[in-house]
Amino acid sequence: GFKCGIVGLPNVGKSTLFNALTRTAAAQAANYPFCTIEPNTGEVAVPDPRMQEVAKIAGSKEIIPTRISFVDIAGLVRGASKGEGLGNQFLANIREVDAIVHVLRCFEDDDITHVEGKIDPVADADTVETELMLADLDSLERRIVQIRKRATGKDKEATTLLPVMEQALSLLQNGKPVRVMLEGIAAEDLIILKGLNLLTSKPVLYVCNVAEADAATGNDHTAKVAEMAATQGAHTVIISAAIEAEVAQLPDEEAKEFLDEMGLEEPGLDRLIRAGYELLDLITYFTAGPKETRAWTIVKGTKAPQAAGVIHTDFERGFIRAQTIAYNDYVTLGGESGAKEVGKARDEGKEYVVQDGDVLLFKFNV
């Protein structure tokens, strides 16, 4: 499955957020810098109102959402790249995730210690990013020595790797994250870059953790974070971890009332989960029948056989075709039979690129 790693300085609200996300007390929140020692992983359902629409039409008994994982990664401190705090462990954990959810403290509270002494989320983001860049610089500098030698000897693999490594190295040496080179990168270079598994090449989402009163509006701190994020092509989500922690414990009806009072339309966690999904470039397709409507996750650009493979490897191996109904057609035409009547249930083959919301029925050999 796909994983988002929750990172940030100590005491910014990571564990509070993670607990709310997974509705468990597994990652204990406490006013203590190294509270989260083991990385905790939690799977969350991706909220998608389209599931209910499809299920209603298909008469499904059950709805099964698709899921993504969040990992609460142990506290990073200044100097982590040199082994301070839980430095090396932190870096190893972050290497294993597909995207980074970076929590920034945008709430004032004199009772909660700030490790840097004052509330300045942009400076905090910079502190964390610097540690990640130093770690990347270190690992890349070590690896590139070998590759440079091999490249002069006309080693084919080394000569393809080298230009990508040189470009990443030059960015890091200029104090820039490797993420910057993702924009418009050639497909083959992207594969090479992903293979290098650098920390700063992973996509980032900034989560501004604000006080309850600022949850609907944001504040001066969140405005500065948004400005910074825009320069990096990164996204921001404003959340009050304290509200989310409370909402997570309420029954649905009460949760809705509580959110209404706060001027919020939906739980911030729903926005966060969806933003994480977008960050990972993921889309959803559906399978629907009387038994169940089910959502499945694929990376944007996935072709029909590989999309079928998410359900079962046999579906991919024996793929023949996919009966495909676009989500809007499915809903406006009243489902499969209605779509068939007007020729909107298409038969798609091996080269079809599955679209977000497609309702699919796979035909395959066993």
Binding residues for ATP: 11-16
User: Is residue 36 near ligand GDP by the rule CB under 6 A?
Assistant: yes
Judged by CB under 6 A, the number of residues near ligand GDP is 22
Closer Cβ to ligand GDP, 268 or 335, answer by number = 268
Q: Which is nearer to ligand GDP, 13 or 267 (CB)?
A: 13
Q: Quick check: 237 and 205 in contact, CB under 8 A?
A: yes
35 binds ligand GDP (CB under 6 A): yes
Q: Judged by CB under 6 A, does residue 242 bind ligand GDP?
A: yes
Instruction: Compute the least distance from the CB of residue 238 to ligand GDP, in Å.
Output: 11
Which is nearer to ligand GDP, 210 or 295 (by Cβ)?
210
Instruction: Give a three-class secondary structure readout of the chain.
Output: CCEEEEECCCCCCHHHHHHHHHCCCCCCCCCCCCCCCCCEEEEEECCCCHHHHHHHHHCCCEEECCEEEEEECCCCCCCHHHCCCCHHHHHHHHHCCCEEEEEEECCCCCCCCCCCCCCCHHHHHHHHHHHHHHHHHHHHHHHHHHHHHHHHCCCHHHHHHHHHHHHHHHHHHCCCCHHHHHCCCCHHHHHHHHHHCCHHHCCEEEEEECCHHHCCCCCHHHHHHHHHHHHHCCEEEEECHHHHHHHCCCCHHHHHHHHHHCCCCCCHHHHHHHHHHHHCCEEEEEEECCCEEEEEEEECCCEHHHHHHCCCHHHHHCEEEEEEECHHHHHHCCCHHHHHHCCCCEEECCCCECCCCCEEEEEECC
Does 162 contact ligand GDP by CB under 6 A?
no
Among the listed residues 4, 7, 12, 279, the single contact to ligand GDP using CB under 6 A: 12
CB of 243 to ligand GDP, least distance (A): 8
- 41 near ligand GDP, judged by CB under 6 A: no
Least separation, in Å, of the C-beta of 28 and ligand GDP? 8
Binding to ligand GDP in span 255-284, by CB under 6 A: none
2, 4, 14, 127: which one binds ligand GDP (CB under 6 A) = 14
- Among the residue ranges 11-19, 119-127, 152-160, 303-311, the one whose residues contact ligand GDP (CB under 6 A): 11-19
Find the shortest distance in angstroms from Cβ 247 to ligand GDP.
13
Asked if 70 interacts with ligand GDP (CB under 6 A), we say: no
The yes or no reply on residue 10 touching ligand GDP (CB under 6 A) is yes
Binder to ligand GDP among 4, 7, 21, 29 (CB under 6 A)? 29
HSE value, Cβ hemisphere, 13 Å, CA-based, for 210: 21
**Contact flags string 105-144 toward ligand GDP, x per CB under 6 A:** --x-x--x--------------------------------
Block residue for tokens 């029954």: 251
Binding site for ligand GDP (CB under 6 A): 8, 10-16, 29-31, 35-36, 75, 107, 109, 112, 209, 211, 240-242
